[in-house]
Chains A and B, each alone.
Chain A
Amino acid sequence: MTRLLPLRLSLLAAVGVALLVLPLTGLILRTPWTALIGDVGDAGAALRISAVVSAVATLLAVGLGIPIGWVLARGTFRGRSALRAIVLLPIVLPPVVSGVALLASLGRSGAVGTLLNNLFGITLPFTIAGAVIAAAFVATPFVSLVSEAGFRSINPGLEEVAASLGARPWRRFRRVVLPQAAPALAAGIVLGWARALGEFGATITFAGNLPGRTQTLPLAIFFELEQDPEAAFSLSLILVVVSIAVLSAARHSWMR
């Protein structure tokens, strides 16, 4: 089979792999292994914030993104493709623009932000809740996109058979659709979580960079880079290890 692969494609692929591998190698080479534990300990707050923000944002993205995926896959209403375009927009939008858009709507002077503040006394910008919203905003489309593809690949005839066997809509979804869509949903969740964990632009714009309150790991890494580059390398390595672990877990259990 490999003989059929054109040589120039193979060469380009090799260059591409180098482009992807070199930076990671460089990071590993520069990591100060002796100071690693101390550096990570100093960033405990950012680690905790990132863990909480990415977890809660993923829950939001899953809870809202999967229903969106379902509606997009099985809905038969006008404007479905327009809805899909709107839902997917945050994927292609520069994150900083997402942050500005969040500020414009949910900020203190934004339409919804003012309402939230006046009615409930809730302020989102520059809080950890704001960081969660920012991460969920960019992560939800990934969950929707991948779960829609998963739902689409299921034969609608199976749901019809389930209906003829007396299963109401919720039971059909739970017993027929969900089990079959599980691999796709898991992939969507992993992608969404990874996106939430790595969120930078929208977070710094909407939630700011308040150490101990809204400073997530990526923000901490960026600002450590000026003061203590070694620490930035250590923290980056943590994120690389976590990402590789999640990716391989996903490959082993869901993406077979």
Chain B
Amino acid sequence: MLRFTGRVIRDQFRLDVDFEAGRDEVVAVVGPNGAGKTTLLRSLAGLEEDQAGTLLVDDEVWMDTESGIRLRPEQRRVGYVPQGGLLFPNLTVLENVAFGLDRTHTDHAQHWLERLELSHLADARPARLSGGQVQLVAFARAQARRPVLLLLDEPLASVDVANRASVRRVIRRELRESPGYRVFVTHDPLEAAALADRLIVLDGGRIVQTGSIDDLSSRPRSPYVAELVGMNFFSGDARNGSIALTSGATLVSAAVPDGPVLATVHPRAVALYGTRPSGSPRNVWMGRVTAIEPSLQQVRIEVTGPIRVVAEVTRRGAALFSEGDQVWVSIKASEVIGYPR
């Protein structure tokens, strides 16, 4: 078990977190820019100057500032892959991977290059490598020392789109097979979903929610998490299946406990019509299209009215609407999922 209860205070910024990680899971730290993701990763590596708190890794105390214990980075058995890889430009690929090894163990470096299919680059200088290759070499360099704690900062950010899938596949496989604790930082929920078992959502220097991607999508606890997983998110007070939202409007839900609640609606469950829909949907109101945002397969349409919602429709369906249109919004009560706040 790894347990970190730490604070970093720097100028105007304050990071204050408390979490655990197991050897059986890959943990992603997600959050918006400036949330403190990199700071969290760096404090685990011992690279942040002004940090306080405790860090326990198995039965080793890496930090306990109350007792004056703070292992320096070189004393912690970490594998740190900073954003962009940061290879030593004056060393070859093989020398980079062997940097953390005793002279007698340079065959480990060879082994790691073979394992990540980089052997043909052994004598190359970092300047000649692509973003994806740099990332994998940096990964091999960190792994060659068999770290207890592997830390990756935005492992795919500097990899171009064409290589991203293959690099992600390699990193995913290696993360699965690493024996130690594994924590990586990303701003991309898709990357987190692809690589991690559990997400730690950081916002403003604090952990706002942790859980699997399924936990987060089914029960987001803050607007940011809802946005991250792409769900419509509401907060209000429920009574007999009716949620009085803080905005004053009401949503009807087929399954909601009484009391203060949060609720989600999947954007695909939001139906839009040009005329008042017939049938039995319990939530119907009229609004105005305020934004149309196409992506590859779907189009997200934001409708503002008594309740602001985002609907996800096919590209063909989206062609029926344009910004400023009056539309009818309809949501089935069974699609409004409420849970205690």
Contacts and interface: CB of A to CB of B under 8 A. Distances in A.
Interface of A: 155, 157-158, 160-168, 175-176, 179-180
Nearest to A167: B74
B89 A163 contact: no
Contacts of B145: 165-166
Nearest to B141: A165
A167 B86 CA distance: 16
B90 A164 contact: no
Given A161-B86, A179-B90, 18 more contacts: A157-B82, A161-B80, A161-B88, A161-B141, A162-B88, A163-B46, A163-B47, A163-B73, A163-B74, A164-B45, A164-B78, A165-B74, A165-B99, A165-B141, A165-B145, A167-B74, A168-B74, A175-B99
Q: Which of B42, B89, B141, B142 has the most CB of A within 10 A?
A: B89
A155 B87 CA distance: 11
A180 B89 contact: yes
Interface string B44-62: 0111000000000000000
Contacts of B90: 179-180
B173 interface: no
Interface of B: 42, 45-47, 72-74, 76, 78-80, 82, 86, 88-90, 99-100, 141-142, 145
Main secondary structure of the interface of A (DSSP, over half): helix
Contacts of B74: 163-168
23 contacts: A155-B86, A157-B86, A158-B86, A161-B86, A162-B99, A163-B46, A163-B72, A163-B73, A163-B74, A164-B47, A164-B74, A164-B76, A164-B79, A164-B142, A165-B80, A165-B99, A165-B141, A165-B145, A166-B74, A166-B145, A168-B74, A175-B99, A176-B88
Contacts of B89: 180
A117 to B, nearest CB: 45
Contacts of A164: 45-47, 73-74, 76, 78-80, 142
A123 to B, nearest CB: 46
